[in-house]
Amino acid sequence: MQNLLFDFISKYITLTEEEKEVLLSLDLFRSVKKGTILLKEGQKSKESYFVLKGCIRVYYILDSEEKTTAFYTEMEALSPPCVVNKTPSDYYVSCMEDGILLVSNSDMEMEVNSKFPKFELMCRRMSEELLAKERIDFDEFKTSSPEQRYLNLLQKRPDLVQRVPQHQLASFLGIQPQSLSRLRARIHEKKS
């Protein structure tokens, strides 16, 4: 798993052997089981997550119904706003699969960034990329029909269709599960 991490980091910065050793000494790797809730609504947290293996889901509970807003899979990072704002979380984060996460906390990040300023540069670059990606995703979601959202999902993240229950996928797309079933049938019919 550490090679996956170092390969990912190498896209942003070059690490010395000393820096690799410091990262490994932080005990960042955490095995998680499917169903584990990493963060609950109302809970405060200092933890950010980087998915090495598995899938985590972000969701709200509104009127006793789960509303999925995001999925994070391999090589994707999640820093909940409550970590930055130091406020209780507005949503839940749970594990959809058994997996391996890199879990850091804000105190640890400040210490590493002070010792190795290039980590701060890497985090800034990653944050900029994530912000741009989330803006594009938000704009696409707001300006597309449910069918186009599903087609975009099939094009950009086809693995989610196999990894995520249909009712959560429907929620993520902003539609009811029955509508997703009809939409899939219609798309399949068009291809036939």
Check which CATH number belongs to the domain holding 46 and give it: 2.60.120.10
Neighbours of 134 (CB within 10 A): 11
Nearest to 50 by CA among 19, 24, 29, 20: 29
Give a yes or no: residue 79 inside a domain: yes
Give a yes or no: residue 24 inside a domain: yes
Give a yes or no: residue 150 inside a domain: no
Give a yes or no: residue 167 inside a domain: no
Q: Are 95 and 32 in contact (CB under 8 A)?
A: yes
| pLDDT at residue 144, as a whole number | 95
Distance, CA of 39 to CA of 44 (rounded, Å): 8
| pLDDT at residue 115, as a whole number | 78
Give a yes or no: residue 122 inside a domain: yes
Q: How many domains does the chain have?
A: 1
Specify the 3-state DSSP secondary structure of 123: helix
Q: Which residues are CB-neighbours of 51 under 8 A, at least 6 positions away?
A: 72, 73, 74, 75, 76, 77, 78, 99, 101, 102
**Domain assignment of residue 86, given as a range:** 2-143
Distance, CA of 83 to CA of 16 (rounded, Å): 29
Give a yes or no: residue 166 inside a domain: no
pTM: 0.88
Tens digits of pLDDT across the chain (192 residues): 778 888 888 888 888 898 888 888 888 889 999 999 999 999 999 999 999 999 999 999 999 999 999 999 999 999 999 998 999 999 999 999 999 999 988 888 888 888 788 888 888 888 899 889 999 999 999 999 999 999 999 999 999 999 999 999 999 999 999 999 999 999 888 887
Give a yes or no: residue 25 inside a domain: yes
